[in-house]
C-alpha cells in the first residue's frame, strides 16, 4: 500500500501555467527584454530563482533576479485575486485521496503563491506538508522538491505516489522514486520519453480516485 500522495500544483490542480507565462512575458516586454516562443517550455519546472535568472540572462530583463521574482509574483497574486483557476474536480479529488493517505505538495510555485492558493481553495488543511522548489537546491526535473516533500510528510519516496502533468515534473517525481500518475497538460503536453515514466495516465484530475492511487502504489 502507498504511504502518501504527493501532488504538483500548476497544471494538476490549477490551470495556471499560461498565466505564469503571461505574467513573465508582460514583464519581459515592458522592461525592454526579448521574449521568445521557446521560453514557456524552457521554464517549465524551474524554481523561482532559476526562472528569474533566465528572464534576466536569456531574455534580457534589466533587473536583478529578486526584483524580477517580486514583480511576477505580485502579478500572479493580482490574477488569483480576480479568479482562482482551479481545474474541474481538483478539490473533490484532493478530498477523496485525503480521506485515505497523508498528502504533500511539491510545487514550482513560490511559497506565498502556494499558501494563497490552498487557502482560497479551502484545501490548506488537506496537506501535511507543502514544498516550493525555491526552498530546495534545484527545481524540476531534479528530484529535490519531491524528496523534501516526502521527508516533511514523514514517508519514504519509494512508497509514495506522485501526481504530475509536465515532462520535467514527471521526470522529477520518477527520479525521486515515486510511482507517478500523469495528468498530461494540454497546453504543454509532456514528451513521450517522460510520459512513459508514469505508471498510469488519466485525462484530468477529476479521474483521480483512491482506487487508482492504491493500484499504482501497490505496483511500486
Exposure of 91 by Cβ count < 10 A (0-12 exposed, 13-18 middle, 19+ buried)? middle
Q: What whole-number distance in Å separates Cα of residue 72 and Cα of residue 37?
A: 18
CA distance 64 to 101: 42
Q: How many CB atoms lie under 10 A from the CB of residue 209?
A: 13
Q: Which three cell numbers stand for residue 132?
A: 516550493
CA distance 162 to 104: 9
10 is catalytic: yes
Strands 179-182 and 127-132: unpaired
Residue 127's SS3 state is: strand
Q: Is 176 left (phi over 0), alpha (psi -120 to 50) or beta?
A: alpha
- 193 has catalytic annotation: no
Set 10, 26, 37, 191: catalytic member: 10
Which listed residue (8, 15, 26, 125) is catalytic? 8
Active site residues: 8, 10
Amino acid at each position: 500500500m502507498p504511504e502518501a500522495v504527493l501532488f504538483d500544483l500548476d497544471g494538476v490542480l490549477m490551470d495556471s501555467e499560461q498565466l505564469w507565462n503571461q505574467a513573465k512575458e508582460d514583464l519581459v516586454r515592458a522592461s525592454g527584454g526579448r521574449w521568445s516562443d521557446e521560453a514557456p517550455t524552457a521554464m517549465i519546472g524551474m524554481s523561482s530563482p532559476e526562472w528569474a535568472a533566465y528572464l534576466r540572462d536569456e531574455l534580457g530583463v534589466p533587473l536583478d533576479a529578486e526584483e524580477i521574482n517580486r514583480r511576477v509574483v505580485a502579478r500572479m497574486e493580482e490574477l488569483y485575486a480576480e479568479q482562482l483557476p482551479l481545474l474541474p474536480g481538483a478539490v473533490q479529488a484532493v478530498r477523496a485521496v485525503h480521506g485515505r493517505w497523508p498528502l504533500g505538495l511539491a510545487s514550482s510555485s513560490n511559497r506565498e503563491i502556494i499558501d494563497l492558493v490552498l487557502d482560497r481553495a479551502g484545501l490548506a488543511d488537506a496537506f501535511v506538508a507543502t514544498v516550493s522548489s525555491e526552498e530546495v537546491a534545484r527545481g524540476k526535473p531534479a528530484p529535490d522538491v519531491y524528496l523534501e516533500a516526502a521527508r516533511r510528510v514523514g514517508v519514504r519516496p519509494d512508497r509514495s505516489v506522485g501526481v504530475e502533468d509536465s515532462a520535467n515534473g514527471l521526470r522529477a517525481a520518477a527520479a525521486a522514486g515515486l510511482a507517478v500518475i500523469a495528468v498530461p497538460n494540454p497546453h504543454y503536453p509532456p514528451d513521450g520519453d517522460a510520459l512513459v515514466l508514469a505508471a498510469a495516465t488519466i485525462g484530468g484530475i477529476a479521474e483521480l480516485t483512491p482506487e487508482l492511487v492504491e493500484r499504482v502504489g501497490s505496483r511500486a
